Amino acid sequence: MKTSHFKFLSVDRPSLCGYCFNPVGGLLTKFEDKWYGACCVEHQKEIVKGNKLKNIAQVSEKGVAYAKAQSRDRYIEISKDNKSWALRDWTEEDRMNFFNKIIREYLNYANEQARNGVDGSQEI
């Protein structure tokens, strides 16, 4: 089992564990010439064996609303910089930065859910 940090991590870092698809805990594992994130050492070992759990991603509507709200100010700032409210008129770099912000905020919300649970009493 090999672990390492390479330049590709700054642009294509795995966000989910290659075994259980939970958020990565900072571990990286190479298997069959591909790099996988792992949430724990036990899952690193499972990845190297070629094992993966079946998992279907779920989206939280409240998480989407949270990400949208957190990204609003950035949207306004980039729109002014590009002199357009339409994303298609923005530079590629600004579009990538904006989508990065939205996704990061959604994952922040999802991580908070995972840490603290959901009581089910809140409305969107």
Q: What is the distance of C-alpha 96 from the center of its chain?
A: 14
Asked if residue 38 is part of any domain, the answer here is yes
Number of domains in the chain: 2
Asked if residue 13 is part of any domain, the answer here is yes
68-83 residue pLDDT tens: 999 999 999 999 999 9
Same domain, 102 and 69: yes
Q: At a CB cut-off of 8 Å and minimum separation 6, what does 18 contact? A: 29, 31, 36, 37, 38, 43, 47, 52
pTM of the model: 0.59
Strand partners, 37: 17, 28
Same domain, 68 and 111: yes
Q: Domain range holding 88?
A: 61-115
89-121 residue pLDDT tens: 999 999 999 999 999 999 898 888 877 777 666
Asked if residue 35 is part of any domain, the answer here is yes
Asked if residue 3 is part of any domain, the answer here is no
16-53 residue pLDDT tens: 888 888 888 778 888 888 888 899 999 999 999 988 88
